[in-house]
Amino acid sequence: MADRKIVRALKGETIFPPPLWMMRQAGRYLPEYRATRKKAGSFLDLCYNPDLATEVTMQPIRRFGFDAAILFSDILVIPHALGRDLDFVEGRGPVMTPIRGEEISRLDGRSFHDHLAPVYETVRRLRQELPSETTLIGFCGAPWTVATYMIAGHGTPDQAPARLFGYRHPEAMARLLQRLAELSAEYLLKQIEAGADAIQIFDSWSGVLDSGSFQKWCVKPVSGIVKRVREVHPEVPIIGFPRGAGAHYGHYREETGVTALGLDWSVPLAQARELQAEGAVQGNLDPMRLVAGGRALDEGVDAILAELSSGSLVFNLGHGITPDTPVEHVEAMVKRVRQGGR
């Protein structure tokens, strides 16, 4: 393996200036992405087309020289590979037929890897095309977050349908999360075998859970994924991103065993520094500072570097970049991080 700074940082090395990448760095803020997306026809067609998925993954690397590329795909390809219908509606996002409790035991994984073969092919091509020093990150959605969409059929402000389902049907929820955890682990293992250097588990909706539910629905299934991946590839760094976990972040790392913590922008830097004492952290610039640019962006970058550069850090946003972000602001952020701030 070449000198991949992000892998080194995730494993605990302090590097200054810190390596960086952005969540959703291949996306609608880039004109070249929009052109490729139009060519693909639909979002899912883009995800399942190795030629085009490779191209959009490479676009931000060519433009900005990020230290990592993250596979272009979607967290909901897992239920789609299990035979659940899935569509992405402009202005609304993913839409599925809500799953019923009795359907959980019938989730059929026999063609799971065949369905996802184009994703694995994209990973193989990316590892061949990326610069040798660029880390390739694979990913999956955490079982809880994926389940929220399967249960509600779409995104909701607080994922109340999934929470109610879990409270009313705890056994069914446990079965669903267990099934998703098993298949997510196998999905990640296939990505690693195809060339991924590190993996990230996105739990975008962990912040809506109370303490007991956080333990059962967030921590437990992710712990199972980490354990399974580590049995086969103990050397591969695993980033856990439980967005909105707040005071639960430290417990999450301890219980799940993830290598590094992805921090959302609401995490105070003093808390981030405490978490960093236990291992690498990733984040956590507010994406709105990137949209605003100028002084707001500079101050946000400088504060993170001042507080966290003495430990293992991967600089990133505290969530995904938004489509209205000016490209020149991303260029300014990269330059400021690479210069060490101020």
- DSSP calls for 114-138: HHTHHHHHHHHHHHHHS-TTSEEEE
Is the Cβ–Cβ distance between 23 and 314 less than 8 Å? no
| HEC-encoded secondary structure of 32-82 | HHHHHHHHHCCHHHHHCCHHHHHHHHHHHHHHHCCCEEECCCCCCHHHHHC
In this structure, are strands 68-70 and 87-89 parallel, antiparallel, or unpaired?
A: unpaired
Residue 86 has a CB neighbour count (10 Å cut-off) of: 18
CA-CA distance, 310 to 287, in Å (whole number)? 23
**33, 48, 120, 149: which is the annotated catalytic residue?**
149
Catalytic residue status for 149: yes
Exposed / middle / buried, residue 335 (Cβ in 10 Å: 0-12, 13-18, 19+): exposed
**4, 8, 37, 125: which is the annotated catalytic residue?**
37
- Stated length of the chain: 342
The 3-state DSSP class for residue 3 equals coil
Residue 333 has a CB neighbour count (10 Å cut-off) of: 25
Cis status, amide bond into 17, omega within 30 of 0: yes
Is the Cβ–Cβ distance between 69 and 133 less than 8 Å? no
CA-wise closest residue to 119 among 196, 210, 209, 25: 196
Catalytic residue status for 24: yes
CA-CA distance, 299 to 294, in Å (whole number)? 9
**28, 175, 228, 273: which is the annotated catalytic residue?**
28
Q: What angle do CA 272, 278, 284 make, to 5 degrees?
A: 25
Residue 207 has a CB neighbour count (10 Å cut-off) of: 18
**63, 74, 127, 302: which is the annotated catalytic residue?**
74
Catalytic residue status for 37: yes
Tens-level pLDDT at each residue, the chain (342 residues): 568 999 999 999 999 999 999 999 999 999 999 999 999 989 999 999 999 999 999 999 999 999 999 999 999 999 999 999 999 988 788 999 999 999 999 998 889 999 999 999 999 999 999 999 999 999 999 999 999 999 999 999 999 999 999 999 999 999 999 999 999 999 999 999 999 999 999 999 999 999 999 999 999 999 999 999 999 999 999 999 999 999 999 999 999 999 999 999 999 999 999 999 999 999 999 999 999 999 999 999 999 999 999 999 999 999 999 999 999 999 999 999 999 987
Catalytic residue status for 84: no
**4, 24, 163, 179: which is the annotated catalytic residue?**
24
Residue 95 backbone phi and psi in degrees, to 5: -130, 130
Q: What residue ranges define each of the domains in the chain, with the CATH number in brackets? A: 5-338 (3.20.20.210)
Catalytic residue status for 167: no
- DSSP calls for 200-238: EEEETTGGG--HHHIIIIIIHHHHHHHHHHHHH-TTS-E
Residue 78 backbone phi and psi in degrees, to 5: -70, -55
